[in-house]
Amino acid sequence: MSDTAAPRARMILPRPLIIGGAILLASVVVGLFPALFAPFDPNAFDYGALLQAPSWAHPMGTDNFGRDVLSRVIHAYTIDMQIAVFATIVPFVFGTIIGALVGYAGGWAEALFGRIVDAVITFPFLVLVIAIVSVLGPGLVNMYIAVGVVGWVFYARIIAAEIKVQKRLDYADAGRAMGYTHLRIIFRHLLPNAITPAIVYWMTDMALAILLGSSLGYLGLGAQPPAAEWGVQIADGKNFMATAWWISVFPGLAIVLTGLGFSLTGDGLAEVLRTKR
Amino acid sequence: MQLASFIARRILQLIPTLLFILIVVFALVRLLPGDPASAMLGDRALDADVERINRELGLDRPLPVQFAVFARSVATGDLGDSITLKLPVTELIATRLPITILLTLMAALIAVVFAVPLAFVAATRRGRMADSAVRGAFQVGLSMPVFYLGLILLTVFGARLRWFPVGGYGDGFLEHLHHLFLPALTLALSLSAILMRNLRAAIIEVIDAEYVQFARAKGLRPRLVLLRHVLRNALISTVALFGLSIGTLLSGAVITETVFAIPGAGRLMVDSIYARDYPVVQGLTIALAVLVSLTFLLTDLVQAWLDPRVAR
Amino acid sequence: MKTLSIAALTAALFLGGLTDASAQDRGGVMTYGRYTDSLFLDPVLNDANVDIWILTNIYETLLNPTDDGLGLEPGLATEWALNEAGDTVTLKLRDGVRFSDGTAMTAEDVIWSLDRARNPDNGIWNFVLASVDSVSAPDPQTIELKLKYPDPTIFSALSVFNTAIMPKAAFEAMVGATDAEKAQEFAKKPIGTGPFMLDSWERGATMKLVKNPNYWDNGADGQPLPYLDGLTFEIIPDDATRILKLQAGDIDGAEFIPFARVAELQADPNVKMELFPGTRVWDVIINVRPELDGRPNPLSDEKVRQAMNYAANKEALVQVVTYGVGTPLSSFMSTTTPMHSGDGPLFPHDLDKAKALMAESGYPDGFKTSILTIAGNQDDLGISTALQQMWAAIGIELEIKQVDNASRTDQYRAGTFEMRTGGWTNDIADASQITSYFAYSPTIDALHSGWKNAEVDALFEASQKRWTRPSGRNSSRGSRKSSTRPGRPSRFMKRPIPWRLARM
């Protein structure tokens, strides 16, 4: 809460960052060691316990194959957290590099990039990803590729704008005067000062990646069975909303909670970085 | 006039963008495994039938020839006929796109109705419970998948409480509005969350601004001052955000239209990709690109009109 | 897909009030939820079920299948006969049949319609009348078909939708240079002899049919059919939404009800959920080519396939996937197919035997393979997920690949898939059609599996030219029990859904 922050308060981490960080930390731990937390094998069928309502034995009930919903929600952390990271890391790195180069170079490179941005933002992102996944085949890796093909543009746009500002500042001129190479100026001097907004955006993007990953899972194009993934689980349960709501509702809550973790962290981080500047 | 040349320049800029999109889409739909004939004929198709239909559709010709034919017809305003629906693509767009436009406009309106009072409350009670609650709601709204929210609204307000029809589009304008309310609400949530965040920040800026303090000192009723500034800011932010998030809204519309059974352009796009209906995918892409570009242009103009500082 | 039946996968639903209506109740409009819209309403040139199901309300054929799907009854023809040599079919036309525009149906319309339907350049259904050499009318009420060779399926062919009778003059008056162009115009406002006619059609949203005032048949009360004033079809692709609309009373009936919902809907007092026998068969197609993608294909090993069949617990699959609605198959055809034989599963569940067979096979340590399913199809997913578990027990690691339909069809036709889920419904109530696709290799390589058996091919060819029952094989399309049959809005029968796994 920068608006209330007195100079002394800078040392204290903002509350959103603490809450968000705690949620993310817990998510990562659960995602790394799901077997420690899950009471059952997430893929084991139990024909004797189909569609059971939440109880002490199955706190989130069972699905239409008798699988324990809680265990599947827990194991899904592994996949969904992986989606959050892998679907964004390539666009982040690649987009940052391209954005830095384009922003520094300006001229025709910038004009060409502008056209690419226009083209990407005029086409519904999800439709483009669906089309690319259809070309490559379903599955997580292909989904990462599809997201990467499009997603880098957003990072590049942010970085390019920042670099353009930075390169006009004195220290960039100083670097040039000292005879440093362009690449050294870009990556050693300009980028560290320009990267903040991209990092903040990255947090939001990871939340968006989970939404996108689960949307594709819901459509059958994301994580493939028997892997538990929240979107897939919601799709599995959508026919049972009237009779066995728990199959869909709990995985949805997990998505919301994790998304909350990322966006709170992003907000908090933005505050910290803003005050630091 | 300056405005006219500005618009003309923007429209000229659109041409290379459109061409680029066209080439990408043309290539992409042809990279998809399978062809329209076997997609149409299904599992029992005999080779001879598949070949005959592809020949009839001109799909046996080399790709550059196909692209030339396509580009020429686009230039004359003819987007071809749908392979599966056997209707002119322009006709399909004319019936489907307005539905999606209505849906997104309703979503934007709902977002404003939600966001403005909440942002006002949060900003004036900065750091207190109400603020935290509103900001918490905002974070939840951002993290909620569209298909999940849609499914829940549909089950609760459609099937259980029967307040709204369960999907579909209805006949007549009032019925359209009734049918589109839940889907628009679904689509509005994330937009209103972002809007609220921006508005809250904007209002805080206004409150802290010196001229408001000054107005207060002059004895003007602070609420009135605030309200005027808030509404103006609300409009500017909404317009700007609507422009920025039109792509996200259209992506959301694809899923919303599927969950709520609305015969809009988003669903037509996905259906056509699945059916390998090349002419529809291409034509709809052009239509969407033009729509989005016009939205950008319009939001720029409206913003300039509302806030002269943006204009330069 | 060129399959016909709304059966099984679908099971139709009606609100209690509607089905309880006595035969004399007249009027009203029924609203029916469909999973997708029709594409092209031409009986000859269409290529999809979604068209056929609507076409049968607008157009009629010379003969109709009986309610049980096993025999034939009069349609636009009242009598039909075959000569001693088996090469000439004679039909008597019904008196007083008029098209929906009021013009009378003539022998000329019939000849033109059948000639159009059998023209090899027209559509994909002309094979139905491949045996016909010529069509003529010795007198205005008689139609004569000369055959090139004795054809046991000729009478059922005359009950298939593509042999429907259309008005020649009205069709030819359409603008357009070719038959296809005229058909495109004509299909916008089709004129047929059926009980309903197209009133309006908003693509992808709603299609409205209204009663044909010139319909020839009368109901139980002696008044002209149909009982209903109209039919409205609403397009609702999402299963869950379609069912919610049904439960909310927004629509009167719905198709493609997932098995998972059957029990719930049967318990719902506001919904009448009935199951009827159909010809739907579900199977898993195994590619048996010796090499795939340059590597040896374990699925080409017969012992492996037998082991997989024994390891797959069909009873459990039927339970998990159809919630007990279906039954395991005893051959590749459904029990409702004429001349079906067999009374027990060919490969009863036997894990020990499966393991022993695997040990004897060329892959005692198991292998990795994959199955193609349609993305978002919960039934497909259920089958594959269950098989994944069952085959893990014999060391087979099954990867499930969800793809869109066009991608799957592409790999299927190219013969590059390993396994895929499959389904079948009969278009003609005769064993020949399913056999020609499943076993007879020249049609499509036995479901593109690469399986070929010279003896089977020879036997099939011989059977096609010979009448097994002199009166003509009982045949009809399995699906004419369309939910929208005039006046009988709910003619459905209890139906076991056949289940079949893994062809050998």
Q: Do C250 and B40 touch (CB under 8 A)?
A: no
Residue of higher predicted confidence among B290 and C469: B290
Do C151 and C245 belong to one domain?
A: no
Per-residue DSSP letter, A108: H
Residue of higher predicted confidence among C290 and B47: C290
Q: Do A241 and B254 touch (CB under 8 A)?
A: no
Specify the pLDDT at position C168: 95
| Contact map slice: C 117-156 vs A, CB within 8 A | none
Do C193 and C318 belong to one domain?
A: no
Exposed / middle / buried, residue C9 (Cβ in 10 Å: 0-12, 13-18, 19+)? buried
Do C249 and C291 belong to one domain?
A: no
Do C493 and C369 belong to one domain?
A: yes
Do C452 and C492 belong to one domain?
A: yes
Q: What gap in Å lies between CA B186 and CA B176, rounded to an integer?
A: 16
Residue of higher predicted confidence among B166 and C44: C44
- Is the minimum CB–CB distance between B162 and chain C shorter than 8 Å? yes
Do C147 and C227 belong to one domain?
A: no
Q: What gap in Å lies between CA C139 and CA C136, rounded to an integer?
A: 9
Specify the pLDDT at position B308: 62
- Is the minimum CB–CB distance between A134 and chain C shorter than 8 Å? yes
Q: C83 and C467 in contact (C-beta within 8 Å)?
A: no
CB-CB: which of A45, A64, A235 is closest to C260?
A64
Q: What gap in Å lies between CA C146 and CA C137, rounded to an integer?
A: 11
The nearest CA of chain C is from the CA of A140 a distance in Å of 11
> Domain limits of chain B?
2-75, 89-306
| Contact map slice: C 295-334 vs A, CB within 8 A | 316, 319-320
| Contact map slice: B 241-280 vs C, CB within 8 A | 258-261, 263, 267-268, 271, 273-276
Do C294 and C432 belong to one domain?
A: yes
Q: Which residue of A has its CA nearest to B250?
A: A124
Q: Do A130 and B270 touch (CB under 8 A)?
A: yes
Q: C185 and C165 in contact (C-beta within 8 Å)?
A: no
Q: Is residue C76 part of a domain?
A: yes
Q: Is residue C503 part of a domain?
A: no
- Cβ contacts of B260 on chain C, cutoff 8 Å: 241
Q: Is residue C185 part of a domain?
A: yes
Q: C461 and C436 in contact (C-beta within 8 Å)?
A: no
What angle do helix axes A196-219 and A140-167 make, rounded to 10 degrees?
A: 160
Identify the chains in contact with A, defined as 3+ C-beta pairs within 8 A.
B, C
Specify the pLDDT at position B222: 62
Report the b/e string of A239-255 with b at 16+ CB within 10 A: bbbbebbbbbbbbbebb
Q: What gap in Å lies between CA C432 and CA C63, rounded to an integer?
A: 19
Q: What gap in Å lies between CA C246 and CA C272, rounded to an integer?
A: 11
User: What does chain B come to in residues?
Assistant: 312
The nearest CA of chain B is from the CA of C283 a distance in Å of 13
Substitution target from C38, C46, C49, C244 for chain B, most B beta carbons within 10 A: C244
Specify the pLDDT at position C379: 79
CB-CB: which of B33, B85, B96 is closest to C410?
B33
Q: What gap in Å lies between CA C237 and CA C49, rounded to an integer?
A: 15
The closest of A228, A203, A187 to A67, measured between CA atoms, is A228
Residue C461, CB-side half-sphere exposure with 13 Å CA sphere: 9
- Cβ contacts of A236 on chain C, cutoff 8 Å: 378, 381
Q: Do A225 and C384 touch (CB under 8 A)?
A: yes
Substitution target from C241, C377, C437 for chain B, most B beta carbons within 10 A: C241
The nearest CA of chain C is from the CA of B264 a distance in Å of 9
Do C351 and C311 belong to one domain?
A: yes
Helices (H) and strands (E) in chain A, counts: 12, 0
The 10s digit of each residue's pLDDT in A117-138 is 877 777 778 888 888 888 887 7
Domain-terminating residue out of C256, C276, C296: C276
Q: Is residue C4 part of a domain?
A: no
At CA A176, angle to CA A172 and CA A177, rounded to 5? 115
Domain count for chain C? 3
Q: Going by DSSP bridges, is the β-strand pair C281-286/C326-328 parallel, antiparallel, or unpaired?
A: unpaired
Point out which residues pair with C32 in neighbouring strands: C233, C253
Q: Is residue C1 part of a domain?
A: no
Residue C313 CB coordination number (10 Å): 21
Q: Is the pLDDT of residue C308 over 90?
A: yes
Q: Do B85 and C203 touch (CB under 8 A)?
A: yes
Q: What gap in Å lies between CA C438 and CA C455, rounded to an integer?
A: 14
Domain-terminating residue out of C232, C256, C276: C276
CATH number, residue C150: 3.90.76.10
Distances (CA, A) of C20 to A19, B111, C32, C272, C275: 60, 46, 17, 10, 16
Q: Do B274 and C404 touch (CB under 8 A)?
A: yes
Domain that holds residue C141: 63-170
Specify the pLDDT at position A85: 93
B241: left (phi over 0), alpha (psi -120 to 50) or beta: alpha
Q: What gap in Å lies between CA B189 and CA C407, rounded to an integer?
A: 35
| Structural domains of chain A sorted by starting position, each given as residue range(s) with its CATH number in brackets | 21-38+58-276 (1.10.3720.10)
Q: What gap in Å lies between CA B256 and CA B40, rounded to an integer?
A: 26
Q: Do B41 and C240 touch (CB under 8 A)?
A: no
Q: Is residue C97 part of a domain?
A: yes
Distances (CA, A) of A75 to A24, A78, C176, C199, C385: 15, 6, 61, 53, 17
Compute φ and ψ for C476, nearest 5 degrees. -175, 165
Averaged pLDDT for residues A89-109: 91
Averaged pLDDT for residues A250-271: 90
Range B89-306 classified under CATH 3.40.50.920: no
Specify the pLDDT at position C494: 28
The closest of B284, B294, B259, B291 to B185, measured between CA atoms, is B259
Do C180 and C238 belong to one domain?
A: yes
Q: Is residue C362 part of a domain?
A: yes
Please name the residue ranges forming H helices in C415-497.
431-438, 441-448, 454-464
Tens place of pLDDT per residue across chain B (312 aa): 567 777 787 778 778 778 888 888 888 888 888 888 877 777 777 777 788 888 878 888 888 888 888 888 888 888 888 888 878 899 999 989 999 999 999 998 898 888 888 888 888 888 788 888 888 888 888 888 988 999 899 888 887 788 888 777 777 788 888 889 999 999 998 888 888 888 888 777 777 766 666 666 666 666 676 677 667 766 776 777 777 778 778 888 888 888 888 889 988 888 888 888 888 988 888 888 888 888 888 887 877 777 665 444
Q: Do A64 and C320 touch (CB under 8 A)?
A: yes
Specify the pLDDT at position B43: 76
The closest of C6, C1, C2 to C479, measured between CA atoms, is C6
CATH number, residue C235: 3.40.190.10
Across C16-164, where does the E strand assignment appear? 29-34, 63-65, 72-74, 77-82, 88-93, 132-139, 142-147
Domain-terminating residue out of C120, C142, C170: C170
One-letter amino acid for residue A152 of the chain = W
pLDDT band at C495 (very low <50, low <70, confident <90, very high): very low
Exposed / middle / buried, residue C216 (Cβ in 10 Å: 0-12, 13-18, 19+)? middle
- Is the minimum CB–CB distance between B41 and chain C shorter than 8 Å? yes
Q: Is the pLDDT of residue A254 over 90?
A: yes
Identify the chains in contact with B, defined as 3+ C-beta pairs within 8 A.
A, C
Specify the pLDDT at position C482: 27
Residue of higher predicted confidence among C71 and C142: C142
User: What does chain C come to in residues?
Assistant: 504
Q: Do B143 and A231 touch (CB under 8 A)?
A: no
Q: B262 and B103 in contact (C-beta within 8 Å)?
A: yes
| H/E element, A69 | helix A69-105
Q: Going by DSSP bridges, is the β-strand pair C367-374/C419-424 parallel, antiparallel, or unpaired?
A: parallel
pLDDT band at C276 (very low <50, low <70, confident <90, very high): confident
Residue of higher predicted confidence among C95 and B236: C95
pLDDT band at A29 (very low <50, low <70, confident <90, very high): very high
Residue of higher predicted confidence among A97 and C469: A97
Specify the pLDDT at position B225: 67
- Is the minimum CB–CB distance between C421 and chain A shorter than 8 Å? no
The nearest CA of chain C is from the CA of A90 a distance in Å of 25
CB-CB: which of A134, A224, A236 is closest to C404?
A134
Q: What gap in Å lies between CA C349 and CA C314, rounded to an integer?
A: 7
Q: Do C320 and A47 touch (CB under 8 A)?
A: yes
Q: Do A122 and B159 touch (CB under 8 A)?
A: no
Do C410 and C359 belong to one domain?
A: yes
- What share of chain C has pLDDT > 70, as a percent? 87
- Is the minimum CB–CB distance between C248 and chain B shorter than 8 Å? yes
SS3 category, C236: coil
Q: Is the pLDDT of residue C343 over 80?
A: no
Residue A61, CB-side half-sphere exposure with 13 Å CA sphere: 19
Do C166 and C180 belong to one domain?
A: no
3-state secondary structure C58-93: HCCCCEEECCCCCCEEECCEEEEEECCCCCEEEEEE
- Is the minimum CB–CB distance between C237 and chain B shorter than 8 Å? yes
The nearest CA of chain C is from the CA of A146 a distance in Å of 15
Q: Do B276 and C234 touch (CB under 8 A)?
A: no
- Cβ contacts of C240 on chain B, cutoff 8 Å: 151, 154
- Is the minimum CB–CB distance between A12 and chain B shorter than 8 Å? no
Specify the pLDDT at position C59: 95
**To 10 degrees, the CA torsion angle through B12, B14, B18, B19?**
40
Per-residue DSSP letter, B160: I
| Contact map slice: B 7-66 vs A, CB within 8 A | 13, 16-17, 20-21, 24-25, 28-29, 31-33
Q: Do B145 and A218 touch (CB under 8 A)?
A: yes
